[in-house]
Structure 1
Amino acid sequence: MLFEAETWVAVAFLILLGVFGYFGVHRTILQALDHRRDRIQKELDDARRLKDEAVKLVAEYRARRESAEREAQDIVESAKAEAERIAVEAKAKMEDFVARRTKSAENKIAQAEMQAIADVRAAAADAAVYAASSVLSQTVRGQIADSLLDKGIKDVREKLN
């Protein structure tokens, strides 16, 4: 057992551990492990903090998006209401315009009819006066003819106009 390689490996290992213990290598290794643990813990804390910030940002952006969607919906509804109001207003204006134009056209037609009637009456009166004057001038002569002619023309004009 004294000459076996495993024994000497175990003895060398124990001597190595003793040398390490004497020079304080175990403390250095423990410090390195502690530093590594602290660094990993810090990274985990940073990761948690970043995760919390990301969750907050996601919630904030969702709230902003919902707010923007509500605002967009309000704008769309407002635009629809405004468009309907403008359409109703335009329809009312168009109906008013058509009614005024119709009334104006009816007035013009009525004036034209009255003018035509007046023109026809004047033409008829002139024709009657001309006919009466030519009949009377051929049948009646003198002062009586002139007074009858004037009276007849006056009567015809009053009745026809």
Structure 2
Amino acid sequence: MMHDPHFWELIAFLVFFGIVFYLKVPGKVGRQLDERAAKIKRELDEAEALHREAQHLFAEYQRKQRNALKEAEEIVAAAEAEAKILVRQAEDELKTSLERRRRQATDKIAQAEKLALQEVRDTAVEVAIAAAGQVLAQQLQGAAAAAQIERAIGDVKAKLH
């Protein structure tokens, strides 16, 4: 039996396992495996927590983006409404200004017409008075005639003005 290689293999095998159990290798290996499993579990838990946090941040980002887009749309709508109001106000102011200028021009034209008519009347009166004075001067002679002519001219001027 001592010469049988299988016997020595069995002895080596038993000694090997004896040493392994004596040095508590299975417990150490088990603890290392348990520690490694715990470490992997912690890393997985941490990764899961980071994943949840990332999902939360992503959802919050999407909500903020939607809110920003909505706010931008509201700002654009308000700006468009304000622009329309400003355009209407400008149109109204332009119409008012044009109407006021038209009235002013019409008033100036009417005043110019009155002034022109008054000047024509004044000129006509002066021409008529001068003509009447010449006619009376030719028909009447002397100092009494001159006084009567002056009085008549004064009366005509007073009545025509």
TM over 0.5: yes
Quick one: which amino acid aligns to residue 135 of structure 1? V
> What runs of 5+ residues in structure 2 fail to find an aligned partner?
none
1:114 alignment partner in structure 2 = 114
1:64 alignment partner in structure 2 = 64
Identity %: 34
CA RMSD in angstroms, aligned pairs only: 2.3
Tell me the TM-score normalised to structure 1 length. 0.86
> What runs of 5+ residues in structure 1 fail to find an aligned partner?
none
Q: Is the 8 A contact 1:128 1:156 kept in 2?
A: no
Q: Is the 8 A contact 2:133 2:149 kept in 1?
A: no
Quick one: which amino acid aligns to residue 49 of structure 1? A
Q: Distance in 2 between matches of 1:9 and 1:125?
A: 161
Tell me the TM-score normalised to structure 2 length. 0.86
**Are the structure 2 counterparts of residues 83 and 10 from structure 1 closer, same or farther at C-alpha, using a change threshold of 3 Å?**
farther
Q: What is the aligned residue count?
A: 158
Per-residue deviation, 1:22: 1.2
Q: Distance in 2 between matches of 1:82 and 1:76?
A: 10
Superposition pairs of residues 13-52 of structure 1, within 5 angstroms: 13-52=13-52
Render the CA deviation track for 1:5-60: whole Å, top value 9, x for unaligned: xx756653443222111110111111000000000000000011011011111111
Per-residue deviation, 1:96: 0.6
Higher RCO, Cα 8 Å, sep 6+: 1
Q: Distance in 2 between matches of 1:145 and 1:21?
A: 168
- Pairing 1:154–2:155 present: yes
Per-residue deviation, 1:130: 1.1
